Amino acid sequence: MKRIGRYVILFTLVCLFVLSNSALASDFSADLITVSGNEKMEGKVLVGKEKMRFETDEMITITRMDKQVVWMLMPGEKMYMEQRLSKGNVVPSKEPAQGELERIHLGTEMVSGKSADKYRITVNTNGQKESFFQWSAKDSGFPVKMAAIDGSWWQEYRNLVIGEPPSSVFEIPAGYQKIDMPF
């Protein structure tokens, strides 16, 4: 259960990153590296129209905005859990992130071999101001990295491929059994 809880937290961070700003405007696939404190997790993210898939060694999560559902697949057990999703929780891709108060351009840096504009973004989260850095690729405007101001966490896309992934990756594979959510 601890593994599932940690995965849900990571998935939430990934969703915030992927669904913010211009990320959802593009169909793409990429490797995603997330570092928080001493923990490092690597996965693969695939995004299509109103669909997202996030894979790690232990779990696969498929988000279907068109069906307002999230499926958490456990390939080792051939089981999955389902959770309803509210479209109201997702910010349209061309608009600022929910609660965004300020976006300051800080310059240009290289991220994974790509030229990227670096921004300091300040958001209002539950009445508190929080800031983080975001790097957006100059060629596509795609956010390729996010990081805490204090360096305590960061996320970065690598091996980015723009283009629609096959629709089959956004479906539950045959032979999987549905189980109830543990919480």
Two tokens at 130? Answer: 């929080």
Over the stretch 54-113, which tens digit does the pLDDT of each residue have?
Answer: 999 889 999 998 899 999 999 999 999 999 876 454 443 434 566 789 999 999 999 988
Q: How far is 142 from 163, CA to CA, in rounded Å?
A: 13
Q: Report strand pairing: 79-84 vs 177-178.
A: parallel
In this prediction the pTM is 0.72
Whether residue 4 is predicted with pLDDT greater than 50 in this model: the reply is no
Paired with 178 in beta bridges are 80
pLDDT score for 25: 52
Over the stretch 142-160, which tens digit does the pLDDT of each residue have?
Answer: 889 999 999 999 999 999 8
Q: How far is 96 from 89, CA to CA, in rounded Å?
A: 14
Average pLDDT of the chain is 82
Of 10-14, 38-42, 47-51, 119-123, give the lowest mean pLDDT range: 10-14
pLDDT score for 118: 97
Residue 33 neighbours by CB under 8 Å, 6+ apart: 40, 41, 42, 155, 156, 158
Domains and CATH numbers, the chain: 2-178 (2.50.20.10)
Are 88 and 79 a contacting pair, CB within 8 Å?
no
Are 122 and 134 a contacting pair, CB within 8 Å?
no
Residue in 129, 139, 132 with CA at minimum distance from that of residue 160: 139
Are 147 and 157 a contacting pair, CB within 8 Å?
no
pLDDT score for 151: 93
Over the stretch 122-141, which tens digit does the pLDDT of each residue have?
Answer: 988 888 899 999 999 888 78
pLDDT score for 98: 64
What sign has the CA pseudo-torsion 119, 131, 8, 67?
A: negative
